[in-house]
Structure 1
Amino acid sequence: MPAKALIVDDEADIRELLSLTLTRLGLDIDTASNMVEARQRLAETDYDLCFTDMR
């Protein structure tokens, strides 16, 4: 089973770029545009990795 990752970023282009890149590397990707969405996803799913935008 592939590793599962969550990408959290408010910029849709960044989420899409990271998602496409990591999917090509074999990861299963979910995305969130803000921390509210991220918390919902984290409550529903166990992730191996989480990529976040700090600013």
Structure 2
Amino acid sequence: MIDELLQDRSALYVSGAMTERERVDFELILEFHDEVRRFVTELQEVGSAMLLSS
């Protein structure tokens, strides 16, 4: 399980609420951290499902 900070940053990344610099830094984490990458994918899928259901 990933820690709360990475979960929060994942949510910010998926929502587009990061600055350009934060996004670039976070994408570096995604490149090397499989678990965070899977979590981001799950968040993106949930977000897409919510948009499609409304």
Q: Is TM > 0.5 for Structure 1 vs Structure 2?
A: no
Q: TM-score range by the shorter chain?
A: 0.3 to 0.5
TM-score (norm 1): 0.34
TM-score (norm 2): 0.34
Specify which structure has the higher proportion of strand.
1
Specify which structure has the higher proportion of helix.
2
Greater radius of gyration (CA): 2
Q: Tell me: higher relative CO, structure 1 or 2? Use CA pairs within 8 A at least 6 residues apart.
A: 1
